[in-house]
Structure formats: C-alpha cells, structure tokens
C-alpha cells in the first residue's frame, strides 16, 4: 500500500497487525521495484518477494542486504535512478 504519496489518496481505517514467529513486515521505497536492468525491465514485486523469501531465515539486516544484492545483480550495472530505503521488522 502506498503511504503518503498523494494527499488525495485515502486509505482504509487503521488495522492492527499481529506478527507470528518468523513473520516479516517490510517497508520499502519504490526504488526497489522500479530499478531497471539494461533492457528497461523493472525489478518488480515478484522478484522482490522472491528475494525476501530466499533470505527469510536470516537476521533483518542481512535480509535487507540480500534484497539490495538481488537488485544490483538484476540491474547488471544500470545506474540507480531513485532512492533505495528499506525497514524490515521480523518477529523472532
């Protein structure tokens, strides 16, 4: 869900999230999913999900590092055009 990008974007009411052991809550900027490779293909949400799933057993900082490395590998040297910011919460 996009947060705070447009003043007119209305979201649903607040909801409590109950994380179970091993659950991950990831907040990222769009720079991750929009990072392009030389063919102008975006990294996308599918690759993002796969990268996080592959690294899910790692500590949070290492999951973020694995996601960053996956984006860099996918980009194959393409110049970064947007910020890459991630916050990851993992229930242990």
Q: What is the pLDDT of residues 44-68, one digit of tens each?
A: 999 999 999 999 999 999 999 999 9
**What is this structure's pTM?**
0.84
Task: Write down the domain spans for the chain.
Answer: 24-90
15 pLDDT tier (thresholds 50, 70, 90)? confident
Which of 70, 84, 68, 75 lies closest to 28, judged by CA? 84
Q: Which tokens belong to 67?
A: 């996601």
According to DSSP H, which parts of 1-92 are helical?
Answer: 31-34, 44-55, 60-75
66, 55 contact by CB (below 8 A): yes
């Amino acid at each position: 869900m996009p947060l705070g990008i447009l003043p007119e974007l209305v979201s649903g009411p607040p909801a409590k999230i109950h994380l179970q052991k091993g659950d991950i809550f990831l907040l990222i900027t769009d720079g991750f999913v929009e990072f392009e490779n030389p063919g102008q293909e975006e990294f996308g949400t599918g690759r993002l999900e796969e990268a996080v799933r592959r690294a899910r057993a790692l500590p949070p900082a290492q999951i973020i590092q694995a996601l960053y490395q996956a984006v860099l590998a996918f980009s194959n040297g393409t110049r970064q055009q947007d910020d890459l910011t991630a916050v990851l919460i993992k229930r242990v």
